[in-house]
Every structure is written in structure tokens, then in C-alpha cells.
Amino acid sequence: MNRGLVVTLILVASILQAGFAQDTQSRQNSANITGAELLRMLRSSSSAGTDQASSLIGEIYGPKLNNGIIPDSETLYGLGRILMDYMTDHPVSQGRSVEQLVMEVLKDAPAQIEEIKAFWANAYKVAEAYFSHPSPENAEKLYMALPDKRLPSLDFKGYVQLGNLIFDFGSNFSILEKNMEEGDPHAVDVGFRLINISDGAAGEVLVHALGEILPKHPRLFLQKLLVHRFKAEPSVFRLLGEILNPVAWWEIPEDDINQVKYKELLNTRLALRIKALESVDDPDLKEIRDLCLAKLRKKILQT
């Protein structure tokens, strides 16, 4: 046999043997690492810790539950969140091995991922229909198609596509915002439901748009606050200060020495919102009205 070929075969065999040994060692490590250790990795403030957790989860989940396919990093992050929530709710489980936890807690995850993919695809289709024909009926359908809580990040692509469609600020979101300001209750429902899929800049624009309902439709605003107080993550009450703030950061004058213009703008808009709320005398809205009034009055700045 050719000597070069023999050397090559020996090298290939060595590489395969090393890979097998490494894979075996990796499986042994995942079997020995406890849930408590995994939880520390998942809660780590460093990317190295969370990446290590995702790697551990993937090396078990892929071969044993997902036909040998290790999911992308975003899906692994979502699976990690499921495991973290489970171990937080069931502290006794933290003494078990990572392999045991993955096999038990994530056994239904492949089917769950397909369900979430179908959910986002349907929501996207319904959202397209609403923005093509923004009727109250289509707004109600969109409201029903959106999640009533934050879903696990098991189809990041579908989540992002829907968000990009809705929070298209030059076009689609402006349609929804206009209908909200005109007092369409179904559009307002959609606005509050969107809290569950918004964050960052989209979240800031959304809460400002929700607050813009108040000056023209104070009764509707209060009614929807009550309806949605437990139907969003984070809760509407946690966001109430931001929703009630009448001046968005992008409206603050940049050349305003001593914030004179800002104070004037803020106090003028606060006065309008306070007056609007004071016009609502429904007994069932009194408590939430008074809460909003107290928060608005605290925002008034001395000029």
C-alpha cells in the first residue's frame, strides 16, 4: 500500500477517534452537570455563560429529541428560558442532571416549536389583511391573532417578521395609530395587545401612541386600561407612567437651554390630559382615573 495513503488513513482514524472521545466526554459532562449549575449559566451576565448553557442544551436536545438537528442559537436561548423558568418554579429539580431535565422538560418542545411557527405565520397573514383593509372587524381579528402573553423564543424568525410588518413606522403602524387616536376600540385593543411583542424602540413608540388616546377619548382610555391590566407582559400598570408621559424623548427640543421649551410643552400637554380625565365621572372608572390623575400631577414641572 502507498505509504502516503497509509499515513493519511492513520491521521483520519486519529481524528475520528479524538472526536468520538470528545463527544463521549461531552455527554458524560452533561450527565454530571446539575440543573443548579445550568441555572447559574443561564442567569449569567456574560455571553460565555449563556453560550455554554446553550451548547449543553443543544448537545442533548438535538440528538435525543430533534432527529439529530441542533437548533439555531435563538431557539436554544428560548429552550434555555423554558428550563430556567421550570427550575425556578421547581427548585428541587435543580439537583438533577442537565440531561434528565432536558429529556423531561423539553420532550414536547419540537411540537411546541411547530405550533409557535404556525402561530406567527397566521398572525402575519391576519396583520397583512388588517393593514390592507383596516376595518374594525379586521382589527378585532388581529387582536385575536396576537399573543395574550409573551411566547417563548422558539421561532425568532417568525417573531421578527411580524414585528417588522407591524412596526413599520412610515406606513403600517401609522394606520393603526390613526385608528387608535380616532377612538376605534378594536384598534385600541390591538395596541394594548402589541405590548406582548414589542421592546426597544418599538415599545417606546407603542406606549406613546397608547397615551395619545387619552386627550380625545379619556373614557375609552380608562376602560381599556382596566380590560388589559392583566393581559400584557410587562403589565399595563408597570408601564402606566410611560403611557401617561405626554412628551416622547424624540419630541424634546435639542437646543432648549434650561429646558424652558420642554417644561412648557410638558405642562401644556399634562393640563390637557388632566382636564380630559376630570371629565370622566363613571363610578366604575373612578379608582383608575384617580390613579392616572395622581401620576400626571406628579409630572408637572415648575417653570
Q: DSSP letter string over 85-110? A: HHHHH-GGGGGSBHHHHHHHHTTTHH
Please report whether residue 26 resides in a domain.
Answer: no
Does 283 share its domain with 266? Answer: yes
Does 80 share its domain with 206? Answer: no
How many structural domains are present in the chain? 2
Instruction: With a cut of 60, say whether residue 219 has pLDDT above it.
Output: yes
pLDDT at 195: 95
Please report whether residue 240 resides in a domain.
Answer: yes
Query: Which of 107, 140, 166 is at the close of a domain?
Result: 107
> Average pLDDT of the chain?
89
pLDDT at 170: 79
Residue with cell 400598570: 237
In angstroms, the CA 185 to CA 179 distance is 9
CATH code where residue 86 lies: 1.10.890
- Quick one: average pLDDT of 279-300? 95
pLDDT, tens digit, 9 for 90 and up, residues 19-73: 444 444 444 455 679 999 999 999 998 889 899 999 999 999 999 999 999 999 9
pLDDT at 302: 67
Does 102 share its domain with 134? Answer: no
pLDDT, tens digit, 9 for 90 and up, residues 227-273: 998 877 778 889 999 999 999 889 888 887 788 889 999 999 999 99
Does 129 share its domain with 229? Answer: yes
pLDDT at 199: 87
Cut 0.75: pTM above it? yes
pLDDT, tens digit, 9 for 90 and up, residues 170-207: 799 999 999 999 999 999 999 999 999 998 899 999 99
Does 100 share its domain with 122? Answer: no
Does 66 share its domain with 116? Answer: no
pLDDT at 31: 61
Does 126 share its domain with 56? Answer: no
Q: How many CB atoms lie within 10 A of CB 171?
A: 9
Does 213 share its domain with 128? Answer: yes
Does 255 share its domain with 160? Answer: yes
Residue 302 or residue 101, greater confidence: 101
Please report whether residue 20 resides in a domain.
Answer: no
Query: Which of 88, 107, 126 is at the close of a domain?
Result: 107
Domain that holds residue 122: 112-298
In angstroms, the CA 181 to CA 261 distance is 25
Specify the range with the lowest mean pLDDT, choosing from 169-173, 213-217, 240-244, 279-283: 169-173
Please report whether residue 3 resides in a domain.
Answer: no
In angstroms, the CA 111 to CA 117 distance is 10
48-77 CB burial, b ≥16 within 10 A, e <16: eebebbbebbbbbbeeebbeeebbeebbbb
Does 149 share its domain with 248? Answer: yes
- Report which of 79, 96, 98 is spatially closest to residue 38, judged by C-alpha positions: 98
pLDDT at 4: 53
Query: Which of 92, 107, 122 is at the close of a domain?
Result: 107
Does 126 share its domain with 237? Answer: yes
264 with 288: CB under 8 angstroms? no
Please report whether residue 94 resides in a domain.
Answer: yes
Does 269 share its domain with 206? Answer: yes
pLDDT, tens digit, 9 for 90 and up, residues 74-92: 999 999 999 999 999 999 9
